[in-house]
Amino acid sequence: MQYNLKAPDRLQTTVTLPASKSISNRVSILSALAPEAAPLINLADSDDGRALQHALRSADETVDIGAAGTAMRFLTAYFAARPGHTRLLTGSARMRQRPIGLLVDALRGLGADITYTEREGYPPLRIVGQRLRGGEVTMDSGVSSQFLSALLMVAPTMERGLQLRLTGATVSETYLRMTVGLMRRFGVVVEESDGGRTFRVAPQPIRAVPFTVEADWSAASYWYEMVALARDTTAAVELLGLTPDSLQGDAAIAALFERLGVRTTFTDRGLRLDRLPSHHLPERFTCDCVLIPDMAQTLVVTCAALGLPFRFDGLQSLRIKETDRLAALQTELRRFGFVLTEHDGRTLQWDGTRCPPEAAPTVATYDDHRMAMAFAPLALVRPGGVTIAHPEVVTKSYPRFWDDLRAAGFRF
């Protein structure tokens, strides 16, 4: 299946955003570890969210989480720390190519019984649940903050608790901060020292608390992109459910898009996006995305569509996402005539170099929801619209994305 999108003459709409997938997954694990139940309201209704919820409820020995990377990391720790059950944790073909050795090694050092059933260092995993003895772990934080979050969330259940020391530059540190903040809301005492490089969690109960999940800033980023690219200078989009005091690191997108001509105004319902009058783009856009790697595709495609040279650093984690996002961005933007260059697996830039574009490019999405959503707004700058292959991939995080575009006047 593929969609050809054409843009509306005027972009003015109100959008009810999906709930934050990152918060939903974390509070689901914390709630499952609590001895009592409390209501969780507005959990993310997405493929990833449903995969995690199903796994937490299922009594089946084999748990297949598909392409849900966060669920794979969090459930590895969760199942390892839950006595009395043996699980075979597996996923999609791409999931079985995503490394998990650092997390498994750390859990084994804390007393976990985990074995690889196929390739060393990669899922599937056979996990025999037991109460972990805990102790001290030193971990390279430069690969995935989800490994760190997985360890911290199960730490209160360990016999000796956990002391976690970090080495290297932390990738996606805002997600680690989200985890710690949510643990504290569930009554867990998390001590920090060494400038946030060491975490201590003593054995303690996790308190069951009612929790309402806020809207997703990652989903909001695509609407920021649309307002930035809209030819109509009166473009205005209202996004419901967002707050200025969010736990989500991707809330940084508001300040970044102000540099691209989009104004954010918070309201009692969420926020409103408008074009800044008489705004002049910078000569070059630079940003270190190490704290917000999921925003890289949105920002890269926006800058290219605006003809704005850019350099984005801190992209090393994009290699192990749903696809190799560094390679995918270069391949797909080349279809539109943009020649990007990559450096050291962590930097992507465009200096204005162009090549002949394809006459009617079709964007490949690589089973990656963010590829589909980041490229869809190109319909606003192309007279013939834009064609997206396998548009169904958006169900991973934003199932209503295409419906919301239709409601905004996009034609399919």
Flag whether 370 is marked binding. Answer: yes
Query: What is the pTM (predicted TM-score) of this model?
Result: 0.88
Catalytic position from the list 294, 324, 344, 403: 294
Looking at 3.20.20.70, 3.30.70.260, 3.65.10.10, 3.40.50.10860, the CATH number of the domain 2-18+215-407 comes to 3.65.10.10
CATH 3.65.10.10 occupies which residues in the chain?
2-18+215-407, 21-212
Cα–Cα dist 280/266, whole Å: 23
Q: Would you state the structure tokens that stand for residue 363, as one six-digit string?
A: 């964007």
Flag whether 172 is marked binding. Answer: yes
**Whether domain 21-212 has CATH 2.60.40.350:** no
Q: How far is CA 49 from the centre of its chain?
A: 12
Catalytic, 294? Answer: yes
Flag whether 325 is marked binding. Answer: yes
Cα–Cα dist 85/194, whole Å: 37
Flag whether 145 is marked binding. Answer: yes
Residue type for position 284: R
List per-residue pLDDT tens for the chain, 412 residues long. 999 999 999 999 999 999 999 999 999 999 999 999 899 999 998 888 899 999 999 999 999 999 888 999 999 999 999 998 899 999 999 899 999 999 999 999 999 999 999 999 999 999 999 999 999 999 987 777 899 999 999 999 999 999 999 998 776 788 999 999 999 999 999 999 998 899 999 999 999 999 999 999 999 999 999 999 998 889 999 999 999 999 999 999 999 999 999 999 999 999 999 999 888 999 999 999 988 999 999 999 999 999 999 999 999 888 877 789 999 999 999 999 999 999 998 999 999 999 999 999 999 999 999 999 999 999 999 999 999 999 999 999 999 999 999 999 999 9
Three-state SS for 90-108 is ECCCCHHHCCCHHHHHHHH
Flag whether 135 is marked binding. Answer: no
